[in-house]
Amino acid sequence: MGHLIASLPQYDLAFLKADTDAWWQGVAHHLRDQGLLDVPDNLTRIDDNERNWRNPDLLLTQTCGYPLMTELQQDLRAVATPVFNCEGCAGGTYSSAVIVHADSDYKQVEDLRGCRAAINNWNSHSGMNALRHTIAPLAEGKSFFSEVVVSGGHVLSMQAVAEGRADVAAIDSVTWALMGRYRLEASKTLRILTWTAPAPSLPYAVRVEADDQTYNKVQVALIAAGADPELASVRNRLLLNGFIPCDTPDYQTMLDFRSQAEALSYPVLA
């Protein structure tokens, strides 16, 4: 086993890098307070998040709840659900803002039939699974969109809609709020058409083989960091209110969204 690593890629937007680093320093302090050894000083940032998520030397990360319940079941175990302070979030849940161009005429989801949708990637809950769940009752088992393009990220999906390369995208509420707070020019040409149904917020997770003692210490450390008054300012900048203890089965909602779409003969966003 090599040195342990940690990654927090989900809201690690370029303009928040210093805040994400400061948040990690606070979390690392609480992990060490719990007696955990080899807590990394710095986050490991690579383009391939899945490589970090599958790394046996991973101590702590944040992932999306949909891949947690699908292809990462053998790799990660949810340990704490973040509580965010922004529109579309409540008590450890989040939704996606279904966004369109501010100048468009769309008034309801039904109006999007035949439009071009942008998704961040196919294994995203907020960008794909939640949107599929929203569209399924309207699709009547057929293709609903004329095209689905993969942008590679929520911010890139926003750009695609703003620039007219796509007509609609589902943007997770925390990313939408962070962009609205720090990069308003990127979102002022967009508007929210509707919100998707709520689901548990993106979990912090440990390796699935972590022993119970390590698991419990990480959970205690995260809850302590989420309540630490000395970290209040950085949490505020990241829109983070604290944590709720959780475990992987608490993310069954993600699979429920999928099965409900499948039951309506809409297994693939199209």
Q: Give domain 90-199's CATH number out of 3.40.190.10, 3.90.1150.110, 1.25.40.80, 3.20.20.70.
A: 3.40.190.10
Residue 1 pLDDT exceeds 70? no
Mean pLDDT of the 102-129 span: 98
Residue 98 pLDDT exceeds 60? yes
Mean pLDDT of the 248-252 span: 98
What confidence tens digit (pLDDT) does each residue in 178-197 have? Answer: 999 999 988 899 999 999 99
Q: With pLDDT > 70 as the criterion, what percentage of the chain qualifies? A: 99
Instruction: Give a three-class secondary structure readout of the chain.
Output: CCCCEEECCCCCCHHHHHHHHHHHHHHHHHHHHCCCCCCCCCCCCCCCHHHHHCCCCEEEEECCHHHHHCCCCCCEEEEEEEEECCCCEECCEECEEEEEECCCCCCCHHHHCCCEEEECCCCCHHHHHHHHHHHHHHHCCCCCCCEEEECCCHHHHHHHHHCCCCCEEEEEHHHHHHHHHHCHHHHCCEEEEEECCCEECCCEEEECCCCHHHHHHHHHHHHHHHHCHHHHHHHHHCCEEEEEECCHHHHHHHHHHHHHHHHCCCCCCC
Which pLDDT score, from 0 to 100, does residue 186 have?
84
Confidence of residue 248 (pLDDT cuts 50, 70, 90): very high
What confidence tens digit (pLDDT) does each residue in 194-232 have? Answer: 999 999 999 999 999 999 999 999 999 999 999 999 999
Mean pLDDT of the 36-46 span: 97
In the chain, where are the structural domains located?
5-84+200-255, 90-199
Mean confidence (pLDDT) of the chain: 97
What confidence tens digit (pLDDT) does each residue in 53-91 have? Answer: 999 999 999 999 999 999 999 999 999 999 999 999 999
Residue 141 pLDDT exceeds 90? yes
> Span 5-84+200-255: which CATH code?
3.40.190.180
Which pLDDT score, from 0 to 100, does residue 14 have?
95
